[in-house]
């Protein structure tokens, strides 16, 4: 929950939670789901699934690159396995591979959803 609060939860000036952009846009159900699942840690990344076996966070290494823990940040911004896919989504990464919160808050939520869907398909094909 701490990751969610740090990366995705936005508060208005008067202290209310701001509705996520993807919920206000006219996206297909599938795109809303893929964005929502990543935002709420309802995904199959090692950082989440290895939690059930009490594996320490630093040992939840990405099964595809075997470099570092498979966190949301690693999956979206750093894993070398997805480098080519990131290259197809210039809109999200025109300023470089920054933070996961910057990518998730991108104005064009359809582009974000398509990117996340492509990442998930590629990951499923490789595993």
How many domains does the structure of the chain reveal? 1
Least-confidence region, from 6-20, 40-54, 81-95? 6-20
The pLDDT value recorded for residue 97 is 65
**Domain extent for 36:** 21-126
- Alpha helix ranges (H) inside 1-127: 2-7, 21-24, 29-39, 46-49, 72-73, 83-88, 90-93, 100-104, 109-126
Q: Is the pLDDT of residue 116 over 90?
A: yes
Residue 30 lies in a domain: yes
Residue 120 lies in a domain: yes
| DSSP string over 80-97 | GGGHHHHHH-HHHHTT-S
Residue 16 lies in a domain: no
Residue 56 lies in a domain: yes
Residue 10 lies in a domain: no
Contact 117, 30 (CB under 8 A): yes
The pLDDT value recorded for residue 15 is 76
Residue 9 lies in a domain: no
Residue 65 lies in a domain: yes
Average pLDDT over residues 57-65: 96
Counting every residue, how long is the chain? 127
């Amino acid at each position: 929950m701490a990751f969610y609060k740090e990366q995705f939860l936005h508060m208005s000036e008067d202290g209310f939670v701001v509705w996520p952009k993807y919920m206000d846009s006219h996206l297909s159900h599938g795109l809303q789901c893929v964005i929502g699942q990543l935002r709420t840690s309802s995904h199959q990344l090692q950082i989440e699934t290895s939690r059930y076996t009490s594996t320490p966070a630093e040992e939840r290494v990405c099964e595809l690159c075997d470099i570092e823990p498979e966190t949301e940040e690693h999956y979206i911004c750093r894993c070398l396995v997805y480098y080519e896919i990131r290259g197809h989504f210039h809109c999200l990464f025109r300023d470089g591979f920054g933070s996961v919160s910057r990518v998730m808050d991108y104005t064009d939520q359809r582009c974000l959803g398509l990117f996340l869907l492509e990442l998930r398909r590629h990951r499923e094909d490789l595993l």
